[in-house]
Structure 1
Amino acid sequence: MTMQFAAPQGLGASAPVSTFDAVVETAMFDQPTLVISLDRVEQQYHALKAGLGRADIHYAVKANPAPEVIARLVAVGSHFDAASRGEIELCLAQGARPYEISFGNTIKRAADVAYAHSVGVTLFAADAAEELDKIAQHAPGAQVYIRLIVETSQADWPLSRKFGCDRDMALELLDRARDLGLQAVGFSFHVGSQTRRAAMWGPTLDEMHKIWHAATEAGHNLTLLNIGGGFPAFYGQDIEAPTDYAASVMDQVSARFGEVARVMAEPGRGLVAEAGAIVAEVMLASRKSARDLHRWVYLSIGRFSGLAETDGEAIRYQISTPRDGDPMGPCVLAGPSCDSADVLYEKQPVLLPLSLSAGDRVVIRNCGAYTSSYSSVGFNGFPPLAVMVV
């Protein structure tokens, strides 16, 4: 895509301006729009791969399913973690080969298992006996890995309740998979979303190694370790550089597990978040009374149109405006819908220019992950988040 834009405000006329930066700073949109830089996605892929080394990257498609993102990742050699038939079809349509796709959701429709098997997908996740029965019936002879529950996560968003099983059940499931004629190849786990420091992986890896060792002692020949996601993005708090972070994680994996035949990693947020920015606008700036300590600033985008991860104020996006040189003050930030839950940041107010008013441009940074994929379909009549790929 070739587009011409003026240099963003504050850059000299001779300063190099990427198409992405120019679009984010100057392009006009009639609705909130996520702008994604494919070059930045590719750069992040190579940075993570340099640290992960022998581990295969299986991009978590759910983080951002834009076809152009998938196609670029296919071109640079990525594999994929798919959660549904739709995501498998998307990856295949963009050139991914079936053996490069893992059906990583532990909750699958039988018909979707059969579909995946029919198109050549050979690797499936499970964390329950009934799921193994399903896979054995509809994908006979498939490779399976057992998802382990993580109870030692230090991540901003632990994922310890919905997915995975404990040690004893995991060992039972390996036996059951073998008895069903499946290839029980290993384990997977997820250390938790936005694990900001590589050192935070240590306690989880210790627990996972104990289970791995118990399985090998029980006679299982494990050849696959899927370390999942957790690779962080920058949201204002310091994080390690992606190559250094990934290399540190792999050093910890090797120290505990040795030379496992196959290691998989499933970055999603850590691969695409920093490649995206949302362009929106202020719809209203107001106070509730003369006694109100904080202004309320309402944006054209909210929880139901892409910013679902502001729930609990866990993800605090970086926000910029053309008025950032003006005096600043705290405000409550909210979305446009007629729903009282559509408040983004209130417990910890956001510092924004006091001069902000309706119509002003707002850029939400590092939000290429879990925004377009979480956007609702027309809640309150507001359109879903638009996506522009450059």
Structure 2
Amino acid sequence: MTSTTTDDRATVTSVQLTQGTEAPSVSDRVRRFLAETPPPTPCLVIDLETVRRRFAEVSSALPEAGIYYAVKANPAPEVVRALAALGCSFDVASPAEIDLCLAEGAAPETISYSNPIKKAAQVAYAYARGVRMYACDSEADLDNLAAHAPGSSVFCRTLLRDKGSIYPFGRKFGCEPEMVVELLARAVELGLDASGVSFHVGSQQLDPAGWDSGIATAAEIAAALRDRGVELTSLNLGGGLPASYRTQAPPLAEYGAAIRAAVARSFGEHRPRLMIEPGRSIVGEAGVLRSEVVLVSRKSYRDDTRWVFLDVGKYGGLVETEGEAIAYPVLTSRDGGPTGPVVLAGPTCDGDDVLYQHTHYELPLDLAAGDHVDILSTGAYTASYSSVEFNGFEPLRTYCVDGAE
């Protein structure tokens, strides 16, 4: 087993589960690392073998699709390097992510600059580094691509009124289908390769049929462009594949089957090449966030609910507890005895830094300051979301472990 500290940006151990679900697991590699080399808390530990396994599961579920890992989910260099070695491609949102991927072994042609909000200088930088695949959703961005990334392949992102996801994207990204048609037609006039349509079904999409409407819309756009002499070749299915938290997500095979059927139904003989941009489904279950109890207190002599304050909170990487949208499973170093209800909160002087008040958690009654609380399935959108130094708390450290069980 090897371990490395990714950076100073930047866990966990009583499992609370919805009835009928299976307990999440912590790999022996992570257990050994935490036992033999106890790092300062809070910290995130990523099991690279789980990352590889989940990549293989996504590939098996949709073997006809090019897999573009969403780097924003977890940009640890070790994660990017491991995926590049497997032949994975990458969905990036900034020049810094481009540099990261190239430094860790990715080829420029495997990188898709999928953020439709970018400066002209950022487009020019990406093009100079060899990136030739871009997303857009506006005339202004399309003009920048024509001027600074000539001849590149372009996907135009369409608006999608998704349902079934934990985090819908609203109207920030994409444009109406009729505008997509006009932008892709204009892309051809500007000398760009009008490659296809992209959309996003929202993050943590729990409905395997959630891609149906986006695929149908993309097929209508492709048909309209075909009538104008423009043949689209590709379809970018975006992200949304889920990870399992306190509830078990549907099997990835169900998503692959549903997507495959929707493409066949909507595109018929004009079946496009497929791309998909998973993030949390690859790295989410690979992460364990180890934290320490700072304080256990009560707010009233009449209230049995304890407040358990951890040394990590929303600003330390647990942003996805906002609105209690993601309910992480937890373990503690005191598991096995009687338990009682708790509120889980972070350490900062911010009234919003409360993780769970309404989602029911029970932790050991003898839990005390200094005990460990491990938060499972935290590989995605934790270290990459942690603040630089809010209230003076340093960012979440990341450690990656590898090797045989």
After TM superposition, the score normalised by the length of structure 2 is 0.89
Partner of 1:264: 275
Question: Runs of 4+ in structure 1 displaced over 4 angstroms?
Answer: 24-27
Partners of 1:385 and 1:124 lie apart in 2 by: 31
How do 1:327-346 and structure 2 match up within 5 A?
A: 327-346=338-357
Q: Is the Cα contact below 8 Å between 2:177 and 2:217 reproduced in 1?
A: no
Partner of 1:79: 89
Partner of 2:136: 126
Partner of 2:169: 159
Aligned partner letter, 2:231: N
2:43 is matched with which residue: 8, 33, 36?
A: 33
Aligned partner letter, 1:336: P
Partner of 2:224: 214
User: Which runs of 5 or more residues in structure 1 are unaligned?
Assistant: 11-15
**Greater alpha carbon shift after TM alignment, 360-369 vs 194-203:** 194-203
User: Which runs of 5 or more residues in structure 2 are unaligned?
Assistant: 4-11, 15-25
How do 1:87-166 and structure 2 match up within 5 A?
A: 87-166=97-176
Closer, same or farther in 2 for the Cα pair 1:25/1:82, shift >3 Å? same
Closer, same or farther in 2 for the Cα pair 1:9/1:290, shift >3 Å? closer
Partners of 1:67 and 1:309 lie apart in 2 by: 22
Partner of 2:17: none
Partners of 1:182 and 1:39 lie apart in 2 by: 39
Partner of 2:8: none
Quote the offset at 1:24 in angstroms: 4.3
Aligned residue for 1:380, secondary structure, equals helix
Partner of 1:177: 187
Aligned residue for 1:156, secondary structure, equals strand
Quote the offset at 1:325 in angstroms: 1.5
Partner of 1:382: 393
RMSD (CA atoms): 2.1
**Greater alpha carbon shift after TM alignment, 245-254 vs 160-169:** 245-254
Deviations 1:163-200 (A, max 9, x none): 11111111121122122221111100011111123133
Aligned residue for 1:184, secondary structure, equals strand
**Greater alpha carbon shift after TM alignment, 260-269 vs 21-30:** 21-30
Quote the offset at 1:236 in angstroms: 1.6
Quote the offset at 1:42 in angstroms: 0.5
Partner of 2:362: 351
Aligned residue for 1:383, secondary structure, equals coil
Quote the offset at 1:36 in angstroms: 0.4
Q: Is the Cα contact below 8 Å between 1:228 and 1:264 reproduced in 2?
A: yes
Partner of 1:13: none
Deviations 1:18-66 (A, max 9, x none): 2223224664222211000111101110111011111000000000001
Partners of 1:207 and 1:2 lie apart in 2 by: 47
Aligned residue for 1:359, secondary structure, equals coil
**Greater alpha carbon shift after TM alignment, 238-247 vs 28-37:** 238-247
1:42 matches 2:52: yes
Q: Is the Cα contact below 8 Å between 1:49 and 1:243 reproduced in 2?
A: no
Quote the offset at 1:238 in angstroms: 2.6
Aligned residue for 1:45, secondary structure, equals helix
After TM superposition, the score normalised by the length of structure 1 is 0.93
Closer, same or farther in 2 for the Cα pair 1:295/1:218, shift >3 Å? farther
1:313 is matched with which residue: 324, 328, 337?
A: 324
Quote the offset at 1:244 in angstroms: 4.1
Aligned partner letter, 2:317: G
